[in-house]
Chains A and B, each alone.
Chain A
Amino acid sequence: MTDAASTKTGPKIVEPTIFDLSSPGRTGVSFPDPDVPHSELPKSMLRADLPLPELAEVDVVRHYMHLSKFNYSVDGGYYPLGSCTMKYNPKIDEDTCRLPGFLFTHPLQPIETVQGNLALMYQLQEWLKEISGFAAVTLQPAAGAHGEFTGVLLMRAYHKSRGDAKRIKMLIPDSAHGTNPASAGMLGLKIVQIPSDPRGNVDLKALQERCDDTVLGMMLTNPNTLGLFDEHIEEVCRIIHACGGLMYGDGANLNALLGIVRPAEIGFDLMHFNLHKTFAVPHGGGGPGSGPVGVAAPLADFLPEPLVGMLEEGDEETPPLFGFVKPAKSIGRMKAFHGHFGGGLVRAFTYIAMHGPDGLKDISQYAVLNANYLLARLRRTYRVPFDRICMHEFVAEGQFEGSDVRALDIAKRLMDYNFHPPTNYFPLIVHEALMIEPTETENKDTLDAFAEALIKIAAESKTQPELLHNAPSTTQFGRMDEVKAARDLVLCCWLPEDYEEQR
């Protein structure tokens, strides 16, 4: 058994890996002996050794419990991450998505045996349509970026069906999230960047100049990544439509719009939802997400297959029969099976059911209230380049005159105050950007404490900048050597070479 802590000279090991902790002959969960006769295994095809760890269950549990202690989480504290909507994840959603009737259903079961699942999906499609104003919704995409890629494919298919093959450009604002140009890039489209005007809106003149019949459309987040609702949004959509293009909405910031406005009604032709942002599906340490896409009527025939549809209408005695339908000119399948049913769809369904129309409007009103409150408290200390009423988030500059402190240092210092930093260095159009999105599930005491911490840090930047440069200093782990990580490139660990000899 290798003694992990004294194995080698070198870095101090805080928590050994699962491979470090392995010891020959230990077993965790085991299974019964076969209740059927043994069949011969094809000897020439067998694997010689399976170099996986060997641990008892208690060791596995302790290891993961130790790891969990190193994580900041929404359950533990505040995450003002702009564009991520780190709102509270309701615990009831954890229970409902794990009901055996959901957990143990196979996607290829006959539809008569899974009417519960199909009815839930159909209902969720209808609810998302109602919230957004779109005519049809697919629940299949697995994440926001996946929804964006779906959207770009939809736009291309639409134009192709009209016999229009010369539309090869996508207009994207300079404030856009990287997934927007990346999604368009996956289709080989040429990206044309549109600048923002001094008030943070899309520059209408620049937009008009770049609009012609080679433009597939525009990808726009509204409110945008500066947290601003475009003051000319309807005009932006009109300009794009006038040159025959389609208007794609990145729904990452939908948390500001629930019950406030329907994107379809102000001119968007299609939009993806981020269920793991707006609808409180947990972030899971990086995933899974869920990225349904809503479309206006002219695009409905192109949606990915399969869509959930009502195959037979019901009456007073019989419920409707739900099943899968293939849209007439479908772009195809975006992933295997139906979408993130268990993780995303059931949770979002539960969430919408528990909020209703008034509750959804409250979410957006209070998300926007909280953001504006923080903006009001911080604008005299941090420069806010686009200083007007914001939506659910705002962007400030993390730098000060006469100080070499940068957004990175402010972010790291916030950890010493027990806050997760805001998003930094995005959007690209603000220098040393700090993007702050409190969400609606933070109380006023937390918001005040956060504002006070940021104000204190601003003062520290002038009087004790080394506190920021060396931050975080109160957390278990400090700043990382990212150059070493990329140059040495250690991406895996293994059982020690002499492991088998210890059996």
Chain B
Amino acid sequence: MNVPASLKYTKSDEWFDPASGAMGLSDYAQSQLSDIVFVEVLVEVGDTVEVGSPIASVESVKASAETYASATGKVVAVNKALSEKPETLNSDPYGAGWMVKVENGQPGEVMDSGAYEKYCAQRTH
């Protein structure tokens, strides 16, 4: 399982990049959902998101999940390409699968990659 060290992670499986202000769904999350068929980003450039507010709706063949903001901030970019190619979330969740970028993002309760790896390992499924 891929857990880049430069990112921060939430308990609800989102990641936040303090350097770029980008956020999205973790590799663990996409593997749980399996084949993703629909992504709808729910916020627009200019919106302010708060930690815990929904930023995207994700559906796979068998499951559905909401993605929540991992940081508070003003949205400066949204990844429109995800609605055309939802499978990007499966293949590249930390790269091309970014969902929303905020400026001056203040992360909420997040953990570093080591803690997140442990957290994923202990969850039974």
- The chain A residues found within 8 Å of chain B, CB to CB, are 482-483, 486-487
Q: Which residues of A contact B103 (CB under 8 A)?
A: none
B-chain residues with CB within 8 Å of residue A482 when the two chains form the complex? 61
B84-106 interface code vs A (CB 8 A; 1 in, 0 out):
00110000000000000000000
Main secondary structure of the interface of B (DSSP, over half): loop
The residue of chain A having its C-beta at the shortest distance from the C-beta of B37 within the complex is A486
Interface string of B3-21 (1 = CB under 8 A from A): 0000000000000000000
Jot down 12 A-B pairs with beta carbons below 8 A, ordered by A.
A482-B61, A483-B35, A483-B37, A483-B61, A486-B35, A486-B37, A486-B38, A486-B61, A487-B35, A487-B37, A487-B86, A487-B87
Once the chains are docked, how many angstroms separate the CA of A418 from the CA of B38? 35
Cα distance, A483 to B87, chains bound together (Å): 10
Contact residues of B between 28 and 62, Cβ < 8 Å to A: 35, 37-38, 61
B118: min CB distance to chain A, Å: 23
Q: Contact residues of B with A, CB < 8 Å?
A: 35, 37-38, 61, 86-87
Q: How near does chain A come to B97, taking the closest CB pair, in angstroms? A: 16
Whole-angstrom distance between the Cβ of A483 and the nearest chain B Cβ: 4
Q: Do most interface residues of chain A lie in helix, strand or loop, or is the interface mixed? A: helix
A483–B35 CA distance with the chains assembled, in angstroms: 7
Q: Which residues of A contact B87 (CB under 8 A)?
A: 487
Given A483-B61, A487-B87, 10 more A-B residue pairs with CB atoms under 8 Å apart are A482-B61, A483-B35, A483-B37, A486-B35, A486-B37, A486-B38, A486-B61, A487-B35, A487-B37, A487-B86
Chain A residues whose CB sits within 8 angstroms of the CB of B35 once the complex forms: 483, 486-487
Name the residue of chain A whose CB is nearest to the CB of B60.
A486
CA–CA, A475 and B14, complex, Å: 43
Please measure, in the bound complex, the distance between the C-alpha atom of A486 and the C-alpha atom of B38, giving whole angstroms: 9
Q: How far is the CA of A487 from the CA of B89 in the complex (A)?
A: 14
Bound Cα distance from A487 to B35, whole angstroms: 9
Residues of chain A with a CB closer than 8 A to B86's CB: 487
A483 to B38, CA, bound (A): 11
Chain B min CB distance to A185 (Å): 13
Chain B residue, CB-CB nearest to A487: B37
Q: How far is the CB of B64 from chain A (nearest CB, A)?
A: 11
Q: Which residues on the B side are within 8 Å of A487 (C-beta)?
A: 35, 37, 86-87
CB distance from A133 to the nearest CB of B (A): 38
A58 to B19, CA, bound (A): 69
Chain B nearest CB from A488 CB (Å) reads 10
**Shortest CB–CB separation between residue A219 and chain B, in angstroms?**
21
A-side contacts of B38, CB under 8 Å: 486
Find the B residue at minimum CB distance from A488: B37
**Chain A nearest CB, measured from B123 CB (Å):** 14
* Minimum distance in angstroms from B50 CB to a CB of chain A: 19
> What is the chain B residue whose CB lies nearest that of A485?
B61
Name the distance in Å between B85's Cβ and chain A's nearest Cβ: 10
Distance in angstroms between the alpha carbons of A487 and B86 in the assembled complex: 9
Question: Within the assembled complex, what's the spacing in Å between the Cα atoms of A486 and B87?
Answer: 11
What is the CA–CA distance of A486 and B58 in the complex, to the nearest angstrom?
13
Per CB-CB distance, the 5 closest pairs between chain A and chain B, nearest first, are A486-B37, A483-B35, A482-B61, A486-B61, A487-B37
Distance (whole angstroms) from the CB of B76 to the closest CB of chain A: 30
Complex-state Cα separation, A482 to B61, whole angstroms:
7
Given the complex of chains A and B, what is the CA–CA distance between A115 and B35 in angstroms?
56
Query: How far, in angstroms, from A482 to B37 measured CA to CA in the complex?
Result: 10
A316-B13 Cα distance, complex, nearest whole Å: 73
CA distance A483 to B37 in the complex (A): 7
